């Protein structure tokens, strides 16, 4: 069924929102989305049409972010297909009611957790990984049995258009619908009552989404960001450390929510690390990264200007070259950075890497803890006790020891933030549980009834306290 939203204006789309949401509710009420076989069929269809449009997706990501086909597949398409394959293979097992322990206080009975879909889910996606961060939560919502409204980012228009085509031409609009457009469309959607909202983007907008959800007591997942620190101990494997930091920082030109935002390096190894990182940049991208097929552009002029302001007047240890016409900012390392510098106030979200130093690990830990909790934290050290100390004494959404970003690639690890970096988590089975209400069900026998619980009570409080120790 081709969506009736195709070819209409933004104002017309906004006017149709209440009617479409009402049709979502009616579709959900039929119960068809609760059928596990139906969900699996929809997931298979989603995988099929993604593969059919693979070239279109590559072309769109090239237009929006200058991503190469290899980078596009690795960071966008492969992760989505992997999630879908996992859902298809595990969904029948995951969706079965899970039997849990029933204490003696409920003799004779059994207890189970049922996984119920919420109803209609709103997925609001960002622009930096526009395909992956739209389609991955969409697949999770489908797997859990929900109807879905998708709002892709207007800042990545080419990718948004491809995803809209995929959804509108292959899924019933009453089941999955998509709304393209800017802020007015998002605002109109957030005025409606959804059963669940999944938002990925900035902390600033995350607060707006949370406030809108609160009006209807709508549960949310907020995948936000923050300044993810990279702590480098003096005892490191220098080559691997430099490679993994630079790869994680410059992937997608630093426009990654879990990119290392800044380095806190032990003063003893700072010069060696800086030297090796500059070498790695040229090994990866050549002496002129603007010519590299694997180096992405900045998404738009507004972000280009925002990032340029961080470079102007800074102590540039490497790079700093820019080209407004091509939205190009080269890999840039800033030296002699202080905690109160402008570049240290907000998430950078670009290819700029500030370096700060410390003398004792406690200083680095204190520096991190004085700021908002980050989405990710990275610690490089061959000393296991140092790594354990950092992990134990800091709080972050996720973390890597001796690597960056790669915790996202494990389907068994939840991905999400804490504090200002987010609420909730997903990926793998965690996506299924995120989009499912875990309903507690007690099934009591009618063959026996314990009279102790009824008034008037037949035992003293002292006797009941003793009994309570054994019937939990």
By annotation, the residues acting in catalysis are 223, 257
Closest by CA position to 432, among listed 36, 31, 32: 36
Closest by CA position to 350, among listed 301, 311, 307: 307
Query: For residue 279, what is the DSSP state?
Result: H
* Residue carrying the six token digits 């969506």: 3
CB contact set of 167 (below 8 Å; sequence gap of 6+): 3, 150, 176, 177, 178
CA angle 307, 311, 312 (to 5 degrees): 115
| CA gap 385, 338 in Å, rounded | 27
Query: For residue 186, what is the DSSP state?
Result: H
The beta strand positions in 66-130, using DSSP E, are: 98-100, 109-117, 120-124
Query: For residue 109, what is the DSSP state?
Result: E
* Joined tokens for residue 110: 């059994």
Spell out a b/e string for 355-386, using b for 16 or more CB atoms within 10 Å of the CB, else e.
bbbbeebeebbebbeeebbbbbbbbbbeeeeb
Q: Is 395 left (phi over 0), alpha (psi -120 to 50) or beta?
A: beta
């Amino acid at each position: 069924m081709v969506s009736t939203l195709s070819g209409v204006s933004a104002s017309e789309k906004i006017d149709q929102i209440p009617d479409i949401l009402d049709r979502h509710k009616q579709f959900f009420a039929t119960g068809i989305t609760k059928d596990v076989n139906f969900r699996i069929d929809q997931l298979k269809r989603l995988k099929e049409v993604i593969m059919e449009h693979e070239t279109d997706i590559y072309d769109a990501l090239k237009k929006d972010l200058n991503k190469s086909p290899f980078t596009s597949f690795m960071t966008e398409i492969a992760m989505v297909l992997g999630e879908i394959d996992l859902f298809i293979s595990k969904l029948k097992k995951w969706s079965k009611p899970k039997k849990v322990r029933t204490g003696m206080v409920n003799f004779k009975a059994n207890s189970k957790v049922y996984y119920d879909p919420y109803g209609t889910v709103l997925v609001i996606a960002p622009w930096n990984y526009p395909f992956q961060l739209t389609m991955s939560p969409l697949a999770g919502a489908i797997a859990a049995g929900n109807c879905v409204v998708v709002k892709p980012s207007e800042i990545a228009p080419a990718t948004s258009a491809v995803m809209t085509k995929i959804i509108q031409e292959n899924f019933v609009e009453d089941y999955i619908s998509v709304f393209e457009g800017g802020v007015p469309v998002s605002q109109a959607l957030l005025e409606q009552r959804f059963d669940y909202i999944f938002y990925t983007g900035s902390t600033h907008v995350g607060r707006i989404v949370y406030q809108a959800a609160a009006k209807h007591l709508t549960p949310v997942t907020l995948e936000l960001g923050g300044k993810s620190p990279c702590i480098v101990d003096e005892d490191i494997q220098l080559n691997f450390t430099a490679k993994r930091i630079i790869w994680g920082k410059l992937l997608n030109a630093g426009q990654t929510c879990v990119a290392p935002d800044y380095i806190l390096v032990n003063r003893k190894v700072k010069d060696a690390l800086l030297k090796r990182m500059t070498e790695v940049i040229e090994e990866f991208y050549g002496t002129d990264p603007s010519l590299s097929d694997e180096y992405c552009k900045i998404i738009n002029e507004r972000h280009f200007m925002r990032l340029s302001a961080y470079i102007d007047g800074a102590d540039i240890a490497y790079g700093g070259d820019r080209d407004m016409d091509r939205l190009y900012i080269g890999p840039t390392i800033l030296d002699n950075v202080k905690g109160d510098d402008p570049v240290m106030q907000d998430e950078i979200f670009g290819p700029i890497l500030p370096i700060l130093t410390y003398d004792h690990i406690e200083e680095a830990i204190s520096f991190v803890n004085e700021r908002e909790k980050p989405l990710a934290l990275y610690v490089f050290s061959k000393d296991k006790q140092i790594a354990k100390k950092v992990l134990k004494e800091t709080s972050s959404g996720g973390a890597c020891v001796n690597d960056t970003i790669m915790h996202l690639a494990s389907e068994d690890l939840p991905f999400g933030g804490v504090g200002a970096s987010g609420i909730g988590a997903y990926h793998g089975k965690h996506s299924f549980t995120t989009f499912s209400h875990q309903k507690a069900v007690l099934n009591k026998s009618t063959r026996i009834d314990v009279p102790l619980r009824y008034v008037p009570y037949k035992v003293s409080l002292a006797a009941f306290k003793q009994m309570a120790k054994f019937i939990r």
